[in-house]
Structure 1
Amino acid sequence: MSDMDLEVSAFGENGEGDNLDEWTVLCSGSVWKREESVRLRHTATEALLSVTGEQYGRPIHGQREVHGMMISSPHSYWRTMEGIFMKPSETGFRDFTSPQHTEF
């Protein structure tokens, strides 16, 4: 790892962690749209979640290593491949500029 790389790990039990578990989703507008790439920024360090060139066979074949990078690169953009997409509310626009929740 270089001086700009940070280790990413997961601690805690039963969904209980600390402020080092908090990440902010960075999208190009005020909402995260389907098919849009986003970046994930670690709230405490401001590092961006990125993929390294390392690939492993266990525990999941083809699993790639991730780390925190202080600079943006093509390896720090993420796209959803599956999940639940919610349509915007028809009752009016909600201000998403101040996040309600930043943790995963």
Structure 2
Amino acid sequence: MKKAVNLATVATEFLSRPGLAPTTRETYELTLAPILNEYGSWSIEIISGTIKFGLLLLMATPISRVVFSLFAFIRERDLTYIIMTLIVLTALIYSLVGGNS
């Protein structure tokens, strides 16, 4: 049976690893304490989903801007900017889908 992992467990394992400098441990403890008090019982799956959604929004922003620019240039019938925008859109989509990961 799979054990549920929460944020507090991950933080504790991170801070208890060997070779971590005492000053680094103190800094992380001071930084993580308020976060763990509030969100420490949240499962990692919830946090992972939230991060994935945020990354999706960050990736959608430049793509949507280029798409809207493409529509504007098509409306203006500006062939030079249509071609340049299509090149940029192709590069964005390639980096999203075909990039190295």
Query: Above 0.5 in TM-score?
Result: no
**TM-score of the superposed pair, with normalisation by structure 1:** 0.22
Higher helix share: 2
Higher strand share: 1
For the pair shown, the structure with the greater C-alpha radius of gyration is 2
